[in-house]
């Protein structure tokens, strides 16, 4: 059974490219803004989250997931060009960071590394 990756990215072109390329190896769910009910229904094994989604940040989105999904514990990889992304990735659910711009091979390598330890 394919692992499930939920892509939370507001750039539609990047989101579509990631979904197309990663969809060969993973079951993909995606959204341009956080929709807690989508996450609940999709039940991802991992969330690939941009730091800045519209007017919200990854910290706000993680807080929303924790506050609205009882026992929320889905690991998150932050995917962002924010200059302080390492400093922002302090939540225990953040399993890694990928700095933009990153090539598809780098994204794949991060996901493969993450899932190989699960």
Mean pLDDT across the chain: 92
Residues 6+ apart with CB under 8 A from 50: 8, 9, 10, 11, 58, 78, 79, 80
pLDDT for the residue numbered 41 = 96
**Of all helices (H) and strands (E), which one includes residue 38?**
helix 36-42
At 57, which CATH number?
A: 3.40.50.2300
Regions of the chain short of the pLDDT cut 50: none
pLDDT for the residue numbered 115 = 95
Pairing outcome for strands 56-57 and 76-80: unpaired
Q: Helix, strand or coil for residue 52?
A: strand
Determine contact, residues 99/81, Cβ cutoff 8 Å.
Answer: yes
Instruction: Give 49's Cβ-side CA count (13 Å radius).
Output: 32
What is the tally of structural domains in the chain? 1
Domain ranges, residue 106? 4-116
The secondary structure of 62-83 as a DSSP string is HHHHHHHSTT----EEEEE--T
pLDDT for the residue numbered 88 = 75
């Amino acid at each position: 059974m394919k692992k499930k990756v939920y892509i939370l990215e507001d750039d539609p072109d990047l989101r579509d490219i990631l979904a197309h390329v990663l969809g060969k190896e993973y079951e993909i769910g995606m959204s341009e803004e956080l929709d807690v009910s989508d996450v609940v229904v999709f039940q991802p094994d991992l969330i690939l989250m941009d730091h800045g989604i519209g007017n919200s940040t990854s910290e706000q989105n993680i807080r929303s997931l924790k506050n609205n999904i009882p026992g929320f514990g889905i690991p998150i990889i932050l995917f962002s060009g924010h200059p302080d992304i390492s400093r922002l990735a302090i939540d225990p659910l953040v399993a890694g960071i990928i700095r933009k711009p990153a090539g598809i091979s780098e994204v794949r390598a991060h996901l493969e590394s993450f899932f190989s330890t699960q």
